[in-house]
Each structure stands twice: as structure tokens, then as C-alpha cells.
Amino acid sequence: MADIHISVDKGRCIMSGNCTFVAADVFDQDDDGFVELLTSSVAAENAENVRDAARRCPGAAIVVD
């Protein structure tokens, strides 16, 4: 299975922190609370928590493809 690619739009991030709870190995928050990516790709078989984070993001700031 191919890796999935993750990107974030900090301009849409409203600093809720949901993504860091759902997928702490992929998302972090910077000192101001904005999302920071720890990695831009994960193996497809480990992608469900990343997709879940994208669904739960209130700013629709996370794109998974």
C-alpha cells in the first residue's frame, strides 16, 4: 500500500488541538498553538487516525491525499 500525504494550512488552524489528541505522532502545536506537522506522510495502513484528525479539525485545516 502506498503512503498517504498530509498537509496543513496554518491559516485555517484555530488552535483547537484536536489533531494532537487523535494523532500525536503526526501533529503537534507550536508555541502559539498553531498546528505543526511532525511528518508529511504515513503508511496507508496507519492512516486511519490521520483521516480521523482531518474529520475532527474544526478549521478544515488538514488535507489528506
| Strand 41-43 to 3-8 pairing | antiparallel
Does 23 contact ligand SF4 by CB under 6 A?
Answer: no
Q: Where does residue 33 fall: left (phi above 0), alpha (psi -120 to 50 degrees), or beta otherwise?
A: left
For residue 14, state whether it binds ligand SF4 (rule: CB under 6 A). Answer: yes
Between CA 57 and CA 1 the distance in angstroms is: 26
Which residues, numbered 33-62, are part of the site for ligand SF4 (CB under 6 A)? 35, 57-59, 61-62
Residue 18 as a binder of ligand SF4 (CB under 6 A): the answer is yes
> Binding residue for ligand SF4 (CB under 6 A) from 13, 23, 26, 42?
13
